[in-house]
Structure formats: structure tokens, C-alpha cells
Chains A and B, each alone.
Chain A
Amino acid sequence: MTEHPRLAPRTPVTGRVGDSVQRPDAVLKVKGDFPYSSDLQVEGMLWGATVRSPHPYARIGSIDASEALASPGVRAVLTHEDVPGRKVYGLEIPDQPVLAFDVARYWGEAVALVAADSPEEARRAAHKVQVDYQVLVPLTDPELALTPDAPSLHEGGNVTRQVRIRHGDQNARAEVVVTGEYEIGMQDQAPLGPESGLAIPDGQGGVDLYIATQWLHIDRDQLAECLALSREKVRLTLAGVGGAFGAREDLSMQAHACMLALRTGRPVKIAYSRPESFVGHVHRHPGRLRYEHGATRDGKLVYVKARILLDGGAYASSSTAVIANACCFAVGPYECPNATIDGWVVYTNNPPCGAMRGFGSVQNCYAHEAQMDKLAAALSMDPVELRIRNAMKTGSSMVTGQVVEGPVPVADLLRRVRDVALPPATTSDPVDLTEMPGGVSNTTHGEGVKRGVGYAVGFKNIGYSEGFNDYSTARVRLSVVGGRPRVEVHTASAEVGQGLVTVQAQIAGTELGVSDVVVLDADTAVGSAGSSSASRQTYVTGGAVKAACEAVRERVLSLAQSEMGGLSADAGDGRRLENDAIVSADGAVVVHLATLLGEEVIEETREFHPRRTAPLDPETGQADAHLQYAFAAHRAVVDVDTELGLVKVVELATAQDVGKAINPQAVEGQLEGGAAQGLGLALMEEIQVKDGVIRNASFTDYLLPTILDMPPLRMQILELGDPHSPYGLKGVGEPPTISSGPAIVAAIRAATGRPLSRAPVRPHDIVDTSPLPS
């Protein structure tokens, strides 16, 4: 029998919706006992390594594996010729080779695979695979990629998707006009857990894959195609996931490990190093955005025109959805009667880009918020007041024509962050260096340091959009274990750190009134849950768990009716499940579940389908394209060393409507962590790509916010209740990453008076380094 890896033991959860319930995996995690995908080991396991293109664009001739095959410990070397099925994959468009054939289109693209007895033997042999590359001139400028003369990187040209939004009067004119051009760098999700997994052949042509991913079923479906296996032959189980943030939506090593395992008949583990991780997943799209805002003299928006160009890199990934978001949310959460938005996402020979927290709503927020500040300056208005004057309300129309329903507290969120008392000036004597920009580097004692305050508000869609079939599946089982009722919840939803496993248990605990709830391992033995992305899982998988629990509850009540009589199956008479029992409307125990059930097991599976959305009209971009909108606002206070261009964020304040906080402590964690990733893009995080080559593929050179960089975050969490969603909840994870960065850049502008049209803001953007006039 094949050995399978040890996964996390199941820890029961007790808790209800609205409680800050402790996550069931926390104890394992603090002890170092939680098995992440990179920790998995089984007897006789081989290690895989990947041969990668050293060129951003090259024709691939012959591949000579003989020397690698002769290396010590090597069991297999595979190339594109060994891909059993479809040679390409992709979330929206299958355009990315499992292993490059004909051409490699980006630096670091996978070309060949090695399996060996140890990781170092695999890596050494990978260096010995001889690939005959004919180096081509890479296309690295997205503007150039748009031109008709540019070489086509894919059949059908370089435009992955164009989005047009035409809303209202296209010839509208305004009394006050401001324009701006903005540029956003390429951000990395940098989840701490590297891409990794373990593939185990079943000896009958099938394979089991233990994997860190955001969506088991879409991985499975793509693997089945590429491996030329039926879906039943490809079984996936979620291993411990060390963060995701969008980086695990696409396949990385999944197909590679399965190919090597099926070829060698041995379990194969692949775990990327950090440098490899930088080329092993897609990144946030860098963007160039050109805006024109027109307003009346009293500060009402008349029109917005925007041209948005995103660099999608070598393959499509989720670019088509990202550009739609960039355009739909281009104006920000403001009423704007007339809009002309044109967006393109193009292929280049840069690293492929796709999903990252915020998903197209981040790049444009830098632009629309900078524009609102410019407009406020042009009108001599307070920037918060201008935003409030134009803020969306319930019933406002999007530039897509969709009417925004439910609570739309944009003005309220802005007032709340504005009204938080400002932190005192940093004036300790003697100066505390740790409070200075530059910190204990001792770069200033306060001279040249200026304070600034900035504001931003943003929003995005929760759940899938544009008609994509958004649903999740949950199986809920109620039985008696050790004399007590136990609920088991089984879904395929990916716990990536956000606390989804806790939320599922809380919902089951609430709906069935049972204090012992266990969430089973996520795997493909149950129906799809969709991805852990778009801030959607609490809504959609939470909805599925709730629906399955309701079905179980109905059966419990009818069982009681048939066993005991005198009970109505409908909940209208006030009987409910609570404290491991059926209780009457006044709370008295009618019957304990353990007594009622005995040996009986009640199991129900339900799918939850939220309201359908519609695709954008290709000519006008008009449609009810989105399921739910979530809003957040931030205020940033910064101290800037104007002589050295160093920034210290002194404090962040945020307000966000979460509809209903299912787990308040976890919600706070999302707001805090999301703000940190926003701060990163504003100040330090950028993948440096030169001529298609990443120059900083390591944590030494790609800077991430540390505990020294993150200021205190003053949070106001509103629970206004969405009338359409389970418990009234709203997706929480992404909004904190949208407006936090733009608020910081606005604060630096306020401190320095510099235009700062680019994020991240670099020291030389703050300090005028242009030559002095002679």
C-alpha cells in the first residue's frame, strides 16, 4: 500500500458566528507541528527540480538530457515531449506551456524537469540539461506591445483583453479639469511558504497530489487535461498553505510533480527556493494610467476619462479579469455621471502577471485618489470634503450602469478616519531615533523631517464577476461520537491562513447548535468550493456550509417529529438546535441530539449559488457585472526626511464595512495584514525587471515591510449588514490592501509637495535630484 503523508490532525472547534473563536490549527502552528506542503515526506520519495529559461525570449531547439540522466541519483528527465496531454494550461486562456516548447517567453520559464534521490542531486543535474536556445529580442515595453509593428508573442496578437466603458455623455465638458499620469510597479505576493507539493502515483495510472493551492478543483481540471487522465484519476488534497494572496491561483509545480511521479512510479516532492518562487508564480500587474477628471466649480464630478494599460507579461493567467476590475473601479467609489474608460492588458516578455490581493482595484486607486487630491487643490477644497461630496450612496450608479445596493457608507468611512485624533508630533527630547525616518541608522535627529497626512478610499467586487459561475459545495455530517453530537464539515475550500477553517466551523456550530465541530481536510472528494480569492470564501463557502446545515437541521427536526411527535418540522414554531439539543422557543430542552440520533447519521450536501452576474458589454462596458461591493478608507500620517527621501509611516487609520464580522479577531487580522501589503507597494515592494530579467528575486533585494515599518493601525469596523449575503457579511480580505497605499502616498505628497505619480515611492522621487542650474 502506498504511504501517504501525515496531514494536520483534526481539532474540534466550539464557537458561534460573531465570536473571536481561536483557529483550530493555531496550536499546531505555534509548536512547529503544522504540516505545510513543503514539510511533507514519505518513504522512497524523490525530489524534483526545474530547468528554467535563462532568457526572456528565445527559440528552443534541441534539448539534450544525456548528461543530466547520467548524473548521480537521477531517475528521470522530462521535457515538453513528455507532457501526456494538453501541452498548455491557463485559468482563462490555455496559453502557458506545461514545459516550454518552440519558444520560451519569459525569464525563468520552465523548460525541463529532473527527479533525483535528493534535492541537491536534482538541482545539480538540472544544470546539466543542455538546451539549445536561439536568443530573440524580448518585447518588454507594454506600450510597444500595443503597436501594430510589434512582434506577436501569441497567436491573435498581444492584446490579451481590451475593455471599453462608455457611460453617460461622451462629450461632457467641465469648468475645472485636472489630468495626471501614474505608474505602478510590479508587486510580489511573497507568501512565506514556497510553492511545493508531493505527488504520489497510485500504481494504476492515477495520482494523488498534496498541494498548497487556492483552488483544488481548477488545479485538478487543468492537471487532468495536461496529464490526459480522467478527473477521477487525479485526486488533490490541500496540504498546509503558507500564505497565498493570489500567488497560488495558477499552476506552478503541480503538473511537474505529477508527471515525474507517474513516470518514475515513485512519490515526488517539489519545493521551490525563494528565487525560484519569484519566477514560479504570477505577480501584480504593473500599470500605466492616464486620467482626466472634470468637475463643477463646487466640486461635483462631471466626467472621468481614463486610459489604463496593464502589463500582463508572457501568459494570460487571470489578466482578462484583472483588466475588467481595473476599468470597472477606475473612478473610485464616487458618483460620476459620465465616464470614458479604455483598458488594455497586453502580452510582453516580462514575468507573467495575474492575481494579487486587490485584483486590479489597487493600481487604479493610486490614480483616482491622486486625481481627487489634485482636483481638491484646483478647487481649493478640503480633499476629504471633495470626496464626501462625490461619495457613492445606496442606489448610486457604477460607471458600468449597475446600481449599487445595500449599505454604501463611503462618506461615513471617510468622516470616521478623518475624525480620529491625529497622533502627536514626534518631539521627544532627546530624539528617539527609532521614531525617526531612517530609524537607528541615525540619519536624522529631526532636521529636514516634515509631517504629512493623506486620505484614500477604495472599493472592489466581492466574488466572481461578469457571469462567471460562482458557487461552492459543502457536505455536513451530524453523528454521535463518544455520547456527544459531532458535526463534520467537508468542503474543498482552501484555508490559506485567512481563517476560513474557523469560519466554517463557527457557521456549523451556529446553525446546528453543536459544540463539537470538526472541519475535514479539503480535497477533491467533495464538490468544488471555487477559489480562495476575490474575498469570496466566507460568503460563498460560508453560504454552502449554512445551506447544508439547514438541510441537516430540517432532517433532525423531522426525525424528532417522527420519533416523538408533537414537533413541527418548520422552524416557525420557534424550536431550534442549541446546546447539543433541540430546544423550544423558550430555551427548554426538548430532546438531546445524542438521545435523538443514537446510531443515526445525518448527512447533507448542498451547493450555494449567489446571484448571477452578467458580462460587460464589449462596446459600452455596461452590465450588472458584480455580486457585491466592499469599501474601505484609510488615513495615513507620515514623517518624511525630505533631505534623504526616507519615510516613516507614523500611523494608519482605517474604517471598513464588513457587513457582519463572523470572527472579529480574524477580521482585524485581515485589516492589519492587508494594510501592511498596501504599505509595501507604496514604499518599498517592487520587482525590478530590466530587459525582461528580474534583478531582485530574493528577500535580500525585494523589500517587504517588517515590524519596524508597520505603524499602529486605528481600526473602525462597521457591521452594516448586506441584505443579500449570509448573515449580512461582506468579503473582508482585499479592501484593506486597496486604499492603504494611496493614502500613504498622499501623505508623502502633503509632506513634500512633490507630485509622486509613481508607486512605490522611491527616495529619489522625494528628493529633487535633478542637476542644479549652472
Chain B
Amino acid sequence: MKIACTVNGRARTVDGAWEGESLLSVLRDRMQLPGSKNACEQGECGSCSVYMDGVLVCACLVLGGQANDRTIVTIEGLATGTALHAVQQAFVEAGAVQCGFCTPGLVVATHDLLARFPEPSVMQIREALAGNICRCTGYAKIIDAVQLAARRIAVDEHSAR
């Protein structure tokens, strides 16, 4: 089947996907966007978190066909040019990255959290990221990274005013 959608600001078309193929496979295997990760492929680990029409979804739980005419933003679409997004930079600095397989999903989920709650409490962070499994870090430095990103974004917005 044919799928036409906007991915990270670009119009993309895929031909030859099979009907049962997930959006995750379409992104990874057909669009050369392997940043979204294939850790559980049943919506439990959040490693494939992407935006579809601005809503955070697990790409493994969305059929490729459902993405037709939709707008997708993946981890590859968050940075602007060579500059990391504040969330990405915070993950790097806080030591929130070890093996990094969960990182793309956590970065996208954090990006979504901070858009909704610019100054999240620790418990809001925990609730918002409860769908993202990390096996390496024990999450402490992920919480640090989210708080660091929130502070940075607040400062940037303050100075932009």
C-alpha cells in the first residue's frame, strides 16, 4: 500500500508497505529514520514515541496506513540544524544517557511533557514518563535532565520576552 505523510516537515511517500506494517517499521525500514526504537513493539516501553498530529503516540501501535495524510515528528525532527533542543542537551549533560536505546522515546516524551507543564513537579515527571522504560539509568538522571531542561527553557523564554 501507499502512505503519504509529512515527516519532520518533509512530504514523504512510501510505496509497497504491507497492510499490517506499523508506523514504526515504516519509519525505520522504509524512510531511513531508525531513531525511533524497536524495544518491545507492543506499546509498553515508549522507545518509539513520536508525535502524530501533535499527539504523543507509540509508533509501534500505529498502523503505517493510519499515518496517511498525517503529520509525524520523530526524534530526528527535534533538533534545529546542528543545535540540540534544550531537552536533548539536558539529557547529554545530566548523564541521562547510557546505552541510549530508551533515549529517543524519553526525549520526545519529555518534549511533550514540558510543552504541557513547563514547570513539572517530580511527581508530574514520574507520571508523564511512566510509559518509558529505561533499563540502564534507574531514572534518577532522567529526572535531573527533565528539570534541567525545564529551567533552561524557562530562562530562554524569559529572555525572549
Contacts and interface: CB of A to CB of B under 8 A. Distances in A.
Interface of A: 20, 22-23, 25-27, 29-36, 38-39, 41, 119-120, 190-194, 240-245, 271, 273-274, 432, 434-435, 440, 496-499, 665-666, 668-669, 671-677, 698-700, 704-708, 710, 712-713
A497 B42 contact: no
A675 B35 contact: no
B133 interface: yes
25 contacts: A25-B97, A30-B84, A30-B89, A30-B104, A31-B76, A32-B34, A36-B34, A120-B18, A191-B135, A194-B39, A242-B37, A242-B101, A243-B99, A432-B123, A440-B127, A497-B99, A498-B98, A665-B95, A668-B141, A669-B141, A699-B39, A707-B126, A708-B127, A708-B130, A713-B140
B143 interface: yes
B100 A194 contact: no
Contact of A20 (B95, B98, B138): B95
A30 B97 contact: yes
Contacts of A241: 99
Interface in B109-161: 123, 125-127, 129-143
B44 A698 contact: yes
A646 B41 CA distance: 28
B47 A192 contact: yes
A240 B139 CA distance: 21
Interface residues of B, number: 60
B42 A192 contact: no
A20 B133 CA distance: 25
A29 B100 contact: yes
Nearest to A31: B79
Contacts of B40: 274, 698-699
A659 B130 CA distance: 35
A34 B97 CA distance: 12
A273 B119 CA distance: 37
Contact of A676 (B75, B100, B139): B139
Contacts of B91: 26, 30
Nearest to B102: A192
Contacts of B76: 31-33
Contact of B135 (A32, A432, A671, A704): A704
Nearest to B98: A497
B32 to A, nearest CB: 7
A434 B123 contact: yes
Nearest to B16: A118
Contact of A26 (B41, B74, B97, B137): B97
Contacts of B101: 36, 191-193, 242-243, 497
B139 A496 contact: no
Contact of A710 (B20, B32, B140): B140
A273 B34 CA distance: 16
Contacts of B104: 29-30, 32
Nearest to A33: B35
A192 B133 contact: yes
A434 B120 CA distance: 14
B38 A194 contact: yes
Secondary structure of the B contact surface, majority rule: loop
A271 B28 CA distance: 13
Contacts of B5: none
A194 B45 CA distance: 13
A211 B140 CA distance: 30
B159 to A, nearest CB: 23
Contacts of B107: 30
B42 A673 contact: no
Contacts of A274: 39-42
Given A33-B35, A669-B137, A273 B41 contact: yes
B114 to A, nearest CB: 15
A492 B79 CA distance: 32
A36 to B, nearest CB: 7
Contacts of B20: 120
Contacts of A665: 95, 141
A672 B45 contact: no
A706 B138 CA distance: 8
Contacts of B142: 707
B135 A22 contact: no
Contacts of B45: 192, 699
A666 B95 contact: yes
Interface centre among A36, A271, A707, A710 (most CB of B within 10 A): A707
Interface string B20-61: 110001001100111111111110110100000000000000
A544 B45 CA distance: 38
Nearest to B39: A192
A673 B92 contact: no
A41 B32 contact: yes
Given A243-B135, A672-B137, A31 B41 contact: no
B42 to A, nearest CB: 6
B69 interface: no
Nearest to B122: A712
A601 to B, nearest CB: 31
Contacts of B134: 192, 707
Interface centre among A27, A29, A273, A710 (most CB of B within 10 A): A29
Nearest to B79: A31
A627 B40 CA distance: 38
A706 B130 CA distance: 6
B78 to A, nearest CB: 8
Contacts of B33: 32
Contacts of B125: 707
Contacts of B102: 192
Contacts of A190: 135
Contacts of B133: 192, 699, 704, 706
Given A31-B75, A33-B76, A192-B47, A713 B138 contact: yes
Contacts of B44: 698-700
A243 B88 CA distance: 20
A496 B99 CA distance: 6
Nearest to A35: B34
Given A26-B92, A32-B34, A35-B34, A698 B42 contact: yes
B95 A32 contact: no
B75 A243 contact: no
Contacts of B18: 120
A676 B131 CA distance: 16
A16 B57 CA distance: 41
Contact of B36 (A32, A242, A440, A497): A32
B93 A22 contact: yes
Contact of B138 (A29, A242, A698, A710): A710
A673 B103 contact: no
